[in-house]
Amino acid sequence: SPELQLAFETNPYVDIVADMEAPTEQVEAIPGEATQSFVHKLQAFTEAQQKPVKDLLALHPTLFHGTPTFFWITDSIAIPQASPDLVSELAVVDGVKTIRVPHTAHIEGGGID
């Protein structure tokens, strides 16, 4: 992404998010199914989808700094302080849809007086 390229122009390491290709909408809820059962199915689905990225991170622990966060609701992985080499490696992993900088929301004040 252009934002990612721009970030690497001024920083040797950049926080990134890898979004996986398979949408969690593929996991269907069965009428009458317990919520916890559905949550377990979603978690198992995303764990399987994210395994190639998890394996890559385990192979290259020096290409990022910090602890990755694996999100099962969005099927994405936040990787702190990733190197350009890691981004290149992630780009060829099956199942990775996009690699981007994290979205940052800024909330204006308006506190209670």
Q: How far is it, in rounded angstroms, from Cα 81 to Cα 91? A: 16
Instruction: Give the list of residues 6+ apart from residue 34 with CB closer than 8 angstroms, or none.
Output: none
pLDDT at site 16: 98
- In contact, 93 and 99? CB cutoff 8 Å: no
Q: How far is it, in rounded angstroms, from Cα 27 to Cα 33? A: 13
Q: What is the CA radius of gyration of the chain?
A: 17
User: pLDDT confidence of 110, banded at 50, 70, 90?
Assistant: low
> How much is the pTM?
0.85
Per residue in 15-72, pLDDT (tens digit) is 999 999 987 888 888 888 888 898 999 999 999 999 999 999 999 999 999 999 999 9
Question: Residue 57: is it exposed, middle or buried by C-beta count within 10 angstroms (0-12/13-18/19+)?
Answer: buried
Q: Where are the domains of the chain?
A: 33-103
